[in-house]
Amino acid sequence: MTKSKGKHFIKTFGCQMNVYDSERMGEALAEAGYVSTDTPETADLVILNTCHIREKAAEKVYSELGRLKQIKIAREELGQGTTIAVAGCVAQAEGREILSRAPVVDLVVGPQSYHRLGDLITRTGSERGGIIDIDFPEDDKFKHLPVRTAGARAPSAFLTVQEGCDKFCTFCVVPYTRGVEYSRPVDEIVEEALRLVKAGVSEITLLGQNVNAYHGDDASGAPRSLAELLRALAEIPELQRLRYTTSHPRDMSDDLIALHGDEEKLMPYLHLPFQAGSDRILAAMNRKHTRAEYQQLVQRIRGARPDIALSTDIIVGFPGETDEEFARTMEVVKEVEFAQAYSFKYSPRPGTPASAMDDQVPEEVKSSRLQQLQAVLKTQQEAFNQSCVGRKFSVLMERPGRRAGQLVGRSPYLQAVHADGDQSLIGRMIEVEIISAGPNSLEADIVETANSAVIAAE
Ligand code: 5AD
Ligand code: SF4
Protein backbone atom coordinates (compact mmCIF):
# COMPACT_ATOMS: atom_id res chain seq x y z
CA MET A 1 0.00 0.00 0.00
CA THR A 2 1.20 3.51 -0.80
CA LYS A 3 1.60 5.75 2.23
CA SER A 4 -1.00 8.56 2.29
CA LYS A 5 0.36 11.79 0.85
CA GLY A 6 -2.60 13.81 2.04
CA LYS A 7 -5.97 14.97 0.76
CA HIS A 8 -6.91 16.40 -2.61
CA PHE A 9 -9.82 18.54 -3.74
CA ILE A 10 -10.59 18.96 -7.44
CA LYS A 11 -12.97 21.67 -8.63
CA THR A 12 -14.23 21.26 -12.17
CA PHE A 13 -15.33 24.05 -14.51
CA GLY A 14 -16.68 23.77 -18.04
CA CYS A 15 -17.69 20.84 -20.17
CA GLN A 16 -18.18 17.12 -19.64
CA MET A 17 -14.70 16.42 -20.96
CA ASN A 18 -13.34 18.26 -17.94
CA VAL A 19 -15.61 16.19 -15.68
CA TYR A 20 -14.09 13.07 -17.21
CA ASP A 21 -10.55 14.45 -16.90
CA SER A 22 -11.13 15.35 -13.24
CA GLU A 23 -12.25 11.80 -12.56
CA ARG A 24 -9.12 10.41 -14.21
CA MET A 25 -6.93 12.89 -12.28
CA GLY A 26 -8.59 11.73 -9.06
CA GLU A 27 -7.72 8.13 -9.98
CA ALA A 28 -4.11 9.05 -10.81
CA LEU A 29 -3.84 10.86 -7.48
CA ALA A 30 -5.31 7.89 -5.61
CA GLU A 31 -2.57 5.77 -7.13
CA ALA A 32 0.00 8.36 -6.04
CA GLY A 33 -1.28 8.06 -2.46
CA TYR A 34 -3.86 10.84 -2.11
CA VAL A 35 -7.39 10.55 -0.80
CA SER A 36 -10.16 12.95 -1.81
CA THR A 37 -11.87 15.47 0.44
CA ASP A 38 -15.00 17.59 -0.02
CA THR A 39 -13.67 21.05 0.83
CA PRO A 40 -10.61 23.06 -0.17
CA GLU A 41 -10.12 24.01 3.51
CA THR A 42 -9.25 20.40 4.33
CA ALA A 43 -7.13 19.75 1.24
CA ASP A 44 -3.34 19.54 0.98
CA LEU A 45 -3.67 19.69 -2.78
CA VAL A 46 -6.27 21.75 -4.63
CA ILE A 47 -6.70 21.40 -8.39
CA LEU A 48 -8.83 23.75 -10.45
CA ASN A 49 -9.75 22.05 -13.71
CA THR A 50 -10.53 25.08 -15.82
CA CYS A 51 -12.46 26.16 -18.92
CA HIS A 52 -11.41 28.81 -21.45
CA ILE A 53 -14.29 28.66 -23.91
CA ARG A 54 -15.76 32.06 -23.01
CA GLU A 55 -14.27 34.98 -21.11
CA LYS A 56 -16.59 34.53 -18.12
CA ALA A 57 -15.46 30.93 -17.70
CA ALA A 58 -11.80 31.95 -17.71
CA GLU A 59 -12.33 34.83 -15.26
CA LYS A 60 -14.04 32.52 -12.76
CA VAL A 61 -10.69 30.80 -12.29
CA TYR A 62 -8.99 33.96 -11.09
CA SER A 63 -11.72 34.75 -8.59
CA GLU A 64 -11.50 31.18 -7.34
CA LEU A 65 -7.72 31.57 -6.97
CA GLY A 66 -8.34 34.70 -4.87
CA ARG A 67 -10.46 32.62 -2.48
CA LEU A 68 -7.88 29.82 -2.42
CA LYS A 69 -5.16 32.29 -1.46
CA GLN A 70 -7.08 33.12 1.73
CA ILE A 71 -7.52 29.42 2.50
CA LYS A 72 -3.81 28.79 1.92
CA ILE A 73 -2.89 31.61 4.34
CA ALA A 74 -5.33 30.33 6.98
CA ARG A 75 -3.94 26.80 6.67
CA GLU A 76 -0.38 28.08 6.90
CA GLU A 77 -1.24 29.61 10.27
CA LEU A 78 -2.23 26.11 11.40
CA GLY A 79 1.08 24.76 10.11
CA GLN A 80 -0.52 23.07 7.08
CA GLY A 81 0.81 23.44 3.56
CA THR A 82 -1.41 23.70 0.47
CA THR A 83 -0.32 22.97 -3.09
CA ILE A 84 -2.44 24.74 -5.68
CA ALA A 85 -2.59 23.51 -9.27
CA VAL A 86 -4.38 24.95 -12.29
CA ALA A 87 -5.26 22.30 -14.87
CA GLY A 88 -7.41 22.31 -18.00
CA CYS A 89 -7.84 24.77 -20.84
CA VAL A 90 -6.94 27.99 -19.00
CA ALA A 91 -3.69 26.31 -18.00
CA GLN A 92 -3.06 25.36 -21.63
CA ALA A 93 -3.97 28.76 -23.03
CA GLU A 94 -2.39 31.08 -20.48
CA GLY A 95 0.53 29.01 -19.15
CA ARG A 96 3.11 31.23 -17.50
CA GLU A 97 0.73 34.20 -17.32
CA ILE A 98 -1.21 32.38 -14.57
CA LEU A 99 1.89 32.34 -12.38
CA SER A 100 2.43 36.07 -12.77
CA ARG A 101 -1.25 36.95 -12.27
CA ALA A 102 -1.72 34.51 -9.38
CA PRO A 103 1.61 33.71 -7.66
CA VAL A 104 -0.31 31.53 -5.20
CA VAL A 105 -0.32 28.85 -7.93
CA ASP A 106 2.35 26.14 -7.63
CA LEU A 107 1.63 24.14 -10.76
CA VAL A 108 0.13 24.78 -14.19
CA VAL A 109 -0.72 21.57 -16.02
CA GLY A 110 -2.33 21.21 -19.45
CA PRO A 111 -4.90 18.55 -20.38
CA GLN A 112 -2.31 16.39 -22.15
CA SER A 113 -0.09 15.97 -19.08
CA TYR A 114 -2.40 14.53 -16.43
CA HIS A 115 -0.57 11.21 -16.41
CA ARG A 116 2.47 13.09 -15.05
CA LEU A 117 0.50 14.73 -12.23
CA GLY A 118 2.01 12.70 -9.36
CA ASP A 119 5.60 13.56 -10.38
CA LEU A 120 4.81 17.18 -11.08
CA ILE A 121 3.29 17.63 -7.62
CA THR A 122 6.33 16.06 -6.00
CA ARG A 123 8.51 18.55 -7.87
CA THR A 124 6.51 21.50 -6.51
CA GLY A 125 7.86 20.54 -3.08
CA SER A 126 11.50 20.84 -4.10
CA GLU A 127 11.63 23.45 -6.87
CA ARG A 128 11.27 27.17 -6.38
CA GLY A 129 8.74 29.14 -8.41
CA GLY A 130 5.81 27.52 -10.15
CA ILE A 131 6.07 24.51 -12.45
CA ILE A 132 4.53 24.50 -15.90
CA ASP A 133 3.74 21.48 -18.06
CA ILE A 134 1.63 22.35 -21.06
CA ASP A 135 3.35 20.35 -23.81
CA PHE A 136 1.44 18.39 -26.37
CA PRO A 137 3.35 15.11 -26.05
CA GLU A 138 3.51 12.67 -28.94
CA ASP A 139 2.66 9.99 -26.45
CA ASP A 140 -0.91 8.93 -25.70
CA LYS A 141 -1.71 10.15 -22.20
CA PHE A 142 -4.55 7.65 -21.90
CA LYS A 143 -2.07 4.78 -22.05
CA HIS A 144 -0.19 6.20 -19.08
CA LEU A 145 -3.16 6.96 -16.86
CA PRO A 146 -3.99 4.20 -14.39
CA VAL A 147 -6.78 1.87 -15.56
CA ARG A 148 -10.25 2.80 -14.36
CA THR A 149 -10.72 1.60 -10.80
CA ALA A 150 -13.42 -0.90 -10.05
CA GLY A 151 -14.75 0.93 -6.98
CA ALA A 152 -18.43 1.83 -6.68
CA ARG A 153 -19.52 4.25 -9.42
CA ALA A 154 -22.54 6.21 -10.46
CA PRO A 155 -24.61 4.18 -12.95
CA SER A 156 -23.90 6.66 -15.74
CA ALA A 157 -20.33 7.44 -16.82
CA PHE A 158 -18.44 9.56 -19.33
CA LEU A 159 -15.76 8.08 -21.54
CA THR A 160 -13.55 10.33 -23.66
CA VAL A 161 -12.95 8.72 -27.06
CA GLN A 162 -11.70 11.68 -29.05
CA GLU A 163 -9.94 14.91 -28.15
CA GLY A 164 -9.03 18.08 -29.96
CA CYS A 165 -10.46 19.68 -33.05
CA ASP A 166 -9.28 20.48 -36.57
CA LYS A 167 -12.36 22.47 -37.55
CA PHE A 168 -11.13 25.93 -36.57
CA CYS A 169 -14.45 27.69 -36.20
CA THR A 170 -13.30 31.31 -36.11
CA PHE A 171 -14.82 32.02 -32.68
CA CYS A 172 -13.43 28.98 -30.88
CA VAL A 173 -10.32 28.42 -28.75
CA VAL A 174 -10.61 24.63 -28.62
CA PRO A 175 -8.25 23.90 -31.54
CA TYR A 176 -5.62 25.93 -29.69
CA THR A 177 -6.21 24.59 -26.16
CA ARG A 178 -6.94 20.95 -26.93
CA GLY A 179 -4.82 20.63 -30.05
CA VAL A 180 -5.36 18.56 -33.18
CA GLU A 181 -7.91 15.79 -33.43
CA TYR A 182 -6.91 12.53 -31.82
CA SER A 183 -9.03 9.36 -31.60
CA ARG A 184 -8.30 6.64 -29.07
CA PRO A 185 -7.99 3.09 -30.43
CA VAL A 186 -11.16 0.95 -30.38
CA ASP A 187 -9.71 -1.75 -28.11
CA GLU A 188 -8.61 0.75 -25.48
CA ILE A 189 -12.12 2.21 -25.37
CA VAL A 190 -13.87 -1.16 -25.25
CA GLU A 191 -11.59 -2.22 -22.43
CA GLU A 192 -12.35 0.94 -20.46
CA ALA A 193 -16.07 0.43 -21.07
CA LEU A 194 -15.83 -3.16 -19.78
CA ARG A 195 -14.15 -1.93 -16.61
CA LEU A 196 -16.85 0.68 -16.10
CA VAL A 197 -19.58 -1.91 -16.62
CA LYS A 198 -17.89 -4.22 -14.12
CA ALA A 199 -18.03 -1.38 -11.61
CA GLY A 200 -21.80 -1.10 -12.04
CA VAL A 201 -22.13 1.39 -14.91
CA SER A 202 -25.03 0.76 -17.28
CA GLU A 203 -24.96 3.98 -19.34
CA ILE A 204 -21.92 5.43 -21.08
CA THR A 205 -21.70 8.79 -22.82
CA LEU A 206 -18.85 8.91 -25.31
CA LEU A 207 -17.15 12.28 -25.26
CA GLY A 208 -15.17 14.28 -27.76
CA GLN A 209 -14.95 17.92 -28.87
CA ASN A 210 -15.85 16.51 -32.26
CA VAL A 211 -16.99 13.09 -31.25
CA ASN A 212 -18.56 12.13 -34.55
CA ALA A 213 -15.26 12.79 -36.35
CA TYR A 214 -13.99 9.77 -34.39
CA HIS A 215 -11.73 7.55 -36.50
CA GLY A 216 -9.79 5.39 -34.03
CA ASP A 217 -7.88 2.30 -35.14
CA ASP A 218 -9.13 -1.21 -34.57
CA ALA A 219 -6.80 -4.09 -33.62
CA SER A 220 -5.67 -4.48 -37.23
CA GLY A 221 -4.87 -0.76 -37.55
CA ALA A 222 -7.88 0.05 -39.75
CA PRO A 223 -9.77 3.24 -38.86
CA ARG A 224 -13.28 2.79 -37.45
CA SER A 225 -16.11 5.32 -37.43
CA LEU A 226 -18.11 6.44 -34.41
CA ALA A 227 -21.03 4.30 -35.62
CA GLU A 228 -18.75 1.25 -35.71
CA LEU A 229 -17.41 2.04 -32.25
CA LEU A 230 -20.96 2.41 -30.90
CA ARG A 231 -21.92 -0.89 -32.47
CA ALA A 232 -18.97 -2.62 -30.81
CA LEU A 233 -19.91 -1.14 -27.42
CA ALA A 234 -23.57 -2.08 -27.85
CA GLU A 235 -22.44 -5.72 -27.84
CA ILE A 236 -21.51 -5.49 -24.16
CA PRO A 237 -24.58 -7.18 -22.64
CA GLU A 238 -24.67 -5.28 -19.31
CA LEU A 239 -24.26 -1.93 -21.03
CA GLN A 240 -27.82 -0.77 -21.52
CA ARG A 241 -27.54 2.77 -22.85
CA LEU A 242 -25.18 4.71 -25.08
CA ARG A 243 -24.95 8.41 -25.82
CA TYR A 244 -22.35 10.63 -27.47
CA THR A 245 -21.54 14.31 -27.52
CA THR A 246 -20.60 16.81 -29.07
CA SER A 247 -21.23 16.40 -32.77
CA HIS A 248 -20.48 18.60 -35.74
CA PRO A 249 -23.13 18.68 -38.49
CA ARG A 250 -20.46 18.02 -41.14
CA ASP A 251 -19.56 14.69 -39.54
CA MET A 252 -23.08 13.25 -39.18
CA SER A 253 -22.40 10.34 -41.54
CA ASP A 254 -25.08 8.10 -43.05
CA ASP A 255 -24.07 5.10 -40.92
CA LEU A 256 -24.34 7.17 -37.73
CA ILE A 257 -27.77 8.52 -38.71
CA ALA A 258 -28.94 4.99 -39.59
CA LEU A 259 -27.70 3.70 -36.24
CA HIS A 260 -30.18 6.01 -34.49
CA GLY A 261 -32.94 3.98 -36.16
CA ASP A 262 -31.33 0.55 -35.70
CA GLU A 263 -29.61 0.40 -32.35
CA GLU A 264 -31.92 0.22 -29.37
CA LYS A 265 -29.15 1.00 -26.91
CA LEU A 266 -28.40 4.31 -28.61
CA MET A 267 -30.58 6.86 -26.82
CA PRO A 268 -32.90 9.13 -28.84
CA TYR A 269 -31.07 12.35 -28.00
CA LEU A 270 -28.61 14.30 -30.10
CA HIS A 271 -26.67 17.46 -29.33
CA LEU A 272 -26.03 19.09 -32.69
CA PRO A 273 -24.81 22.71 -32.53
CA PHE A 274 -25.90 25.01 -35.38
CA GLN A 275 -24.45 28.27 -33.94
CA ALA A 276 -26.22 30.71 -36.31
CA GLY A 277 -28.99 30.83 -38.91
CA SER A 278 -27.52 33.20 -41.48
CA ASP A 279 -25.39 31.69 -44.24
CA ARG A 280 -23.11 34.72 -44.27
CA ILE A 281 -22.45 34.39 -40.52
CA LEU A 282 -22.03 30.61 -40.81
CA ALA A 283 -19.38 31.21 -43.49
CA ALA A 284 -17.65 33.86 -41.35
CA MET A 285 -17.68 31.34 -38.50
CA ASN A 286 -16.03 28.78 -40.82
CA ARG A 287 -18.73 26.25 -39.98
CA LYS A 288 -18.61 24.87 -43.53
CA HIS A 289 -22.34 24.21 -43.69
CA THR A 290 -25.34 26.31 -44.65
CA ARG A 291 -28.62 26.78 -42.89
CA ALA A 292 -30.39 24.61 -45.50
CA GLU A 293 -27.83 21.83 -45.05
CA TYR A 294 -28.42 21.84 -41.29
CA GLN A 295 -32.17 21.69 -41.77
CA GLN A 296 -31.91 18.84 -44.28
CA LEU A 297 -29.68 16.99 -41.85
CA VAL A 298 -32.28 17.37 -39.11
CA GLN A 299 -34.89 15.94 -41.46
CA ARG A 300 -32.73 12.93 -42.25
CA ILE A 301 -32.05 12.29 -38.56
CA ARG A 302 -35.74 12.56 -37.76
CA GLY A 303 -36.44 10.24 -40.69
CA ALA A 304 -34.28 7.60 -39.01
CA ARG A 305 -35.54 8.24 -35.49
CA PRO A 306 -38.75 10.30 -35.46
CA ASP A 307 -38.90 10.83 -31.68
CA ILE A 308 -35.29 12.02 -31.32
CA ALA A 309 -34.82 14.94 -28.93
CA LEU A 310 -32.55 17.54 -30.48
CA SER A 311 -30.35 19.88 -28.54
CA THR A 312 -28.08 22.61 -29.88
CA ASP A 313 -25.59 25.44 -29.24
CA ILE A 314 -26.27 28.93 -30.54
CA ILE A 315 -24.12 32.08 -30.49
CA VAL A 316 -25.67 35.54 -30.76
CA GLY A 317 -23.75 38.68 -31.68
CA PHE A 318 -20.95 37.14 -33.72
CA PRO A 319 -18.96 40.05 -35.28
CA GLY A 320 -20.99 41.78 -37.98
CA GLU A 321 -24.28 40.00 -37.15
CA THR A 322 -27.16 42.31 -38.15
CA ASP A 323 -30.73 42.23 -36.82
CA GLU A 324 -31.73 40.59 -40.11
CA GLU A 325 -29.14 37.90 -39.71
CA PHE A 326 -30.13 37.28 -36.11
CA ALA A 327 -33.72 36.85 -37.36
CA ARG A 328 -32.46 33.91 -39.46
CA THR A 329 -31.24 32.25 -36.24
CA MET A 330 -34.68 32.68 -34.69
CA GLU A 331 -36.26 31.15 -37.80
CA VAL A 332 -34.12 28.01 -37.55
CA VAL A 333 -35.02 27.64 -33.88
CA LYS A 334 -38.74 27.96 -34.69
CA GLU A 335 -38.52 25.50 -37.56
CA VAL A 336 -36.46 22.80 -35.85
CA GLU A 337 -38.03 22.99 -32.36
CA PHE A 338 -35.33 21.95 -29.90
CA ALA A 339 -35.93 19.86 -26.81
CA GLN A 340 -33.03 21.64 -25.17
CA ALA A 341 -30.43 24.26 -26.08
CA TYR A 342 -27.45 26.24 -24.87
CA SER A 343 -27.17 29.82 -26.06
CA PHE A 344 -24.34 32.27 -25.60
CA LYS A 345 -23.36 35.84 -26.30
CA TYR A 346 -20.33 35.86 -28.56
CA SER A 347 -17.22 36.27 -26.43
CA PRO A 348 -13.97 37.30 -28.16
CA ARG A 349 -11.24 34.80 -27.36
CA PRO A 350 -7.57 35.77 -27.60
CA GLY A 351 -5.82 34.37 -30.65
CA THR A 352 -8.99 33.40 -32.56
CA PRO A 353 -9.71 35.00 -35.97
CA ALA A 354 -13.14 36.35 -34.94
CA SER A 355 -11.70 38.30 -32.02
CA ALA A 356 -9.73 40.41 -34.55
CA MET A 357 -12.77 41.13 -36.76
CA ASP A 358 -13.71 44.80 -37.05
CA ASP A 359 -17.44 44.97 -36.51
CA GLN A 360 -17.84 43.62 -32.96
CA VAL A 361 -21.49 43.77 -31.83
CA PRO A 362 -22.25 46.03 -28.83
CA GLU A 363 -22.92 44.26 -25.53
CA GLU A 364 -26.51 45.62 -25.22
CA VAL A 365 -27.40 44.25 -28.65
CA LYS A 366 -26.01 40.83 -27.73
CA SER A 367 -27.94 40.85 -24.46
CA SER A 368 -31.22 41.76 -26.09
CA ARG A 369 -30.81 39.08 -28.79
CA LEU A 370 -29.93 36.47 -26.18
CA GLN A 371 -33.04 37.37 -24.20
CA GLN A 372 -35.31 37.01 -27.23
CA LEU A 373 -33.69 33.74 -28.19
CA GLN A 374 -33.81 32.24 -24.72
CA ALA A 375 -37.50 33.09 -24.35
CA VAL A 376 -38.30 30.97 -27.43
CA LEU A 377 -35.95 28.16 -26.40
CA LYS A 378 -37.55 28.03 -22.97
CA THR A 379 -41.02 27.70 -24.51
CA GLN A 380 -39.79 24.89 -26.74
CA GLN A 381 -38.17 23.02 -23.87
CA GLU A 382 -41.34 23.35 -21.78
CA ALA A 383 -43.46 22.16 -24.69
CA PHE A 384 -41.22 19.15 -25.17
CA ASN A 385 -41.37 18.30 -21.47
CA GLN A 386 -45.16 18.72 -21.48
CA SER A 387 -45.47 16.38 -24.46
CA CYS A 388 -43.97 13.65 -22.26
CA VAL A 389 -46.78 13.74 -19.67
CA GLY A 390 -48.78 10.50 -19.73
CA ARG A 391 -45.98 8.59 -21.48
CA LYS A 392 -44.17 5.61 -20.04
CA PHE A 393 -40.38 5.66 -20.03
CA SER A 394 -37.57 3.50 -18.91
CA VAL A 395 -35.53 5.61 -16.49
CA LEU A 396 -32.04 4.86 -15.27
CA MET A 397 -32.17 5.78 -11.57
CA GLU A 398 -28.94 7.62 -10.79
CA ARG A 399 -29.06 9.07 -7.27
CA PRO A 400 -31.24 10.06 -4.32
CA GLY A 401 -33.31 13.21 -4.81
CA ARG A 402 -33.34 16.21 -2.48
CA ARG A 403 -36.46 15.00 -0.68
CA ALA A 404 -36.35 11.86 1.45
CA GLY A 405 -37.69 8.86 -0.47
CA GLN A 406 -37.15 10.56 -3.80
CA LEU A 407 -34.98 9.26 -6.64
CA VAL A 408 -33.57 11.08 -9.65
CA GLY A 409 -32.84 9.48 -12.97
CA ARG A 410 -32.70 10.31 -16.67
CA SER A 411 -35.28 9.68 -19.37
CA PRO A 412 -34.12 8.36 -22.75
CA TYR A 413 -34.33 12.02 -23.87
CA LEU A 414 -31.89 13.07 -21.10
CA GLN A 415 -34.52 14.88 -19.00
CA ALA A 416 -34.11 14.64 -15.23
CA VAL A 417 -36.94 12.48 -13.85
CA HIS A 418 -37.99 12.53 -10.17
CA ALA A 419 -39.93 9.65 -8.67
CA ASP A 420 -40.62 8.31 -5.20
CA GLY A 421 -39.01 4.96 -4.66
CA ASP A 422 -36.63 2.92 -2.58
CA GLN A 423 -32.91 3.73 -2.66
CA SER A 424 -32.23 0.15 -3.73
CA LEU A 425 -33.53 1.09 -7.19
CA ILE A 426 -30.50 3.33 -7.81
CA GLY A 427 -28.47 1.92 -10.69
CA ARG A 428 -31.47 0.14 -12.21
CA MET A 429 -33.59 0.74 -15.24
CA ILE A 430 -37.13 1.39 -13.99
CA GLU A 431 -40.42 1.77 -15.90
CA VAL A 432 -42.17 4.99 -14.94
CA GLU A 433 -45.18 6.99 -16.06
CA ILE A 434 -44.64 10.75 -16.39
CA ILE A 435 -47.29 12.55 -14.34
CA SER A 436 -46.18 16.18 -14.68
CA ALA A 437 -43.56 18.36 -16.28
CA GLY A 438 -41.65 21.43 -15.17
CA PRO A 439 -39.31 23.60 -17.24
CA ASN A 440 -36.24 21.52 -16.34
CA SER A 441 -37.47 18.16 -15.12
CA LEU A 442 -40.27 15.61 -15.06
CA GLU A 443 -42.21 13.99 -12.19
CA ALA A 444 -43.07 10.33 -12.50
CA ASP A 445 -44.72 7.37 -10.81
CA ILE A 446 -42.92 4.07 -10.84
CA VAL A 447 -45.11 1.59 -12.67
CA GLU A 448 -42.98 -1.49 -12.68
CA THR A 449 -39.83 -2.87 -11.15
CA ALA A 450 -38.45 -6.38 -11.24
CA ASN A 451 -39.45 -6.59 -7.60
CA SER A 452 -42.42 -4.31 -7.01
CA ALA A 453 -42.18 -4.86 -3.26
CA VAL A 454 -39.28 -2.43 -3.15
CA ILE A 455 -41.42 0.56 -4.12
CA ALA A 456 -41.55 2.78 -1.09
CA ALA A 457 -44.91 3.10 0.59
CA GLU A 458 -46.38 6.62 0.52
N1 5AD B 1 -18.22 32.89 -27.67
C2 5AD B 1 -19.44 32.38 -27.37
N3 5AD B 1 -19.74 31.10 -27.41
C4 5AD B 1 -18.77 30.25 -27.79
N5 5AD B 1 -18.77 28.91 -27.93
C6 5AD B 1 -17.52 28.53 -28.30
N7 5AD B 1 -16.72 29.60 -28.41
C8 5AD B 1 -17.47 30.68 -28.10
C9 5AD B 1 -17.20 32.07 -28.04
N10 5AD B 1 -16.03 32.56 -28.34
C11 5AD B 1 -19.94 28.09 -27.74
C12 5AD B 1 -20.33 27.37 -29.04
C13 5AD B 1 -19.90 25.96 -28.76
C14 5AD B 1 -20.10 25.85 -27.27
C15 5AD B 1 -19.37 24.74 -26.61
O16 5AD B 1 -19.65 27.09 -26.78
O17 5AD B 1 -21.73 27.47 -29.19
O18 5AD B 1 -20.67 25.01 -29.48
FE1 SF4 C 1 -14.71 24.72 -31.53
FE2 SF4 C 1 -15.78 24.50 -33.97
FE3 SF4 C 1 -14.06 22.63 -33.08
FE4 SF4 C 1 -16.54 22.81 -32.01
S5 SF4 C 1 -16.04 22.31 -34.17
S6 SF4 C 1 -14.59 22.58 -30.88
S7 SF4 C 1 -16.90 25.02 -32.07
S8 SF4 C 1 -13.59 24.78 -33.50
Taking only the tens place, the pLDDT of each residue in 296-305 is 999 999 999 9
DSSP label of 305: -
Could you write out the DSSP letters of every residue in 243-266?
Answer: EEE---GGG--HHHHHHHHH-TTB
Taking the CA of residue 178 as reference, the ligand 2 atom at the shortest distance is: 6
- Average pLDDT, rounded, for the chain: 93
pLDDT given for residue 58 in this prediction:
85
Nearest CA to 233 among 216, 210, 257, 251?
216
Q: Tell me, in angstroms, the distance from the centre of ligand 2 to residue 343's CA.
A: 15
Distance of alpha carbon 246 from its chain centroid, rounded? 8
Any idea which ligand is nearest the CA of 276? 1
* Greater pLDDT, 128 or 369: 369
pLDDT at 1 over 70: no
Which ligand is nearest to the Cα of residue 315, counting in written order? Answer: 1
pLDDT tens column, 359-402: 999 999 999 999 999 999 999 999 999 999 999 999 999 999 98
**pLDDT value, residue 138:** 62
Count of residues making up the chain: 458
**Residue 420, H or E segment:** strand 416-420
Specify the 3-state DSSP secondary structure of 30: helix
pLDDT of res. 133: 86
> What confidence category does residue 454 fall into, taking pLDDT thresholds of 50, 70 and 90?
very low
CA angle 63–67–69, rounded 5-degree value:
110
Q: Which pLDDT score is estimated for 458? A: 36
Confidence of residue 449 (pLDDT cuts 50, 70, 90): low
- CA 351–ligand 1 middle distance (angstroms): 14
Taking the CA of 275 as reference, the closest ligand is: 1
What value does the mean pLDDT take over residues 151-172? 91
Residue range 295-339, pLDDT digits in tens: 999 999 999 999 999 999 999 999 999 999 999 999 999 999 999
Higher pLDDT, 30 or 324: 324
Atom of ligand 2 at shortest range from CA of 248:
5
Question: Is 214's C-beta closer than 6 angstroms to any atom of ligand 1?
Answer: no
Q: How far is the CA of 97 from the centre of ligand 2 (A)?
A: 25
Give residue ranges with CB within 6 A of ligand 2: 165, 167-169, 172, 174-175, 209-210, 248
pTM for this structure? 0.93
Q: From the CA of 159, how far away is ligand 1's center (Å)? A: 22
The helix (H) or strand (E) run that includes residue 400 is strand 392-400
User: For a pLDDT cut of 90, what percent of the chain falls above it?
Assistant: 83
Q: State the pLDDT at residue 450.
A: 54
Average pLDDT (216-225) is 97
Exposure pattern of 103-113 as b/e (b: 16+ CB <10 Å)? ebbbbbbbbbb
Q: Which atom of ligand 1 is nearest to the CA of 349?
A: 10
For the chain, percent of residues with pLDDT exceeding 70 = 96
What pLDDT score was predicted for residue 127? 77
Q: Which atom of ligand 1 is nearest to the CA of 348?
A: 10
Q: Ligand 2: which of 162, 248, 289 to mutate, most ligand atoms within 8 Å of CB?
A: 248
CA quadruple 368, 371, 374, 375: dihedral positive or negative? negative
Map residue 191 onto helix, strand or coil.
helix
Taking a C-beta distance cutoff of 8 angstroms, is the pair 428, 451 a contact? no
Q: How confident is the model at residue 4 (pLDDT cuts 50, 70, 90)?
A: confident
Which is more confident, 244 or 119? 244
Mean pLDDT of 412-419: 97
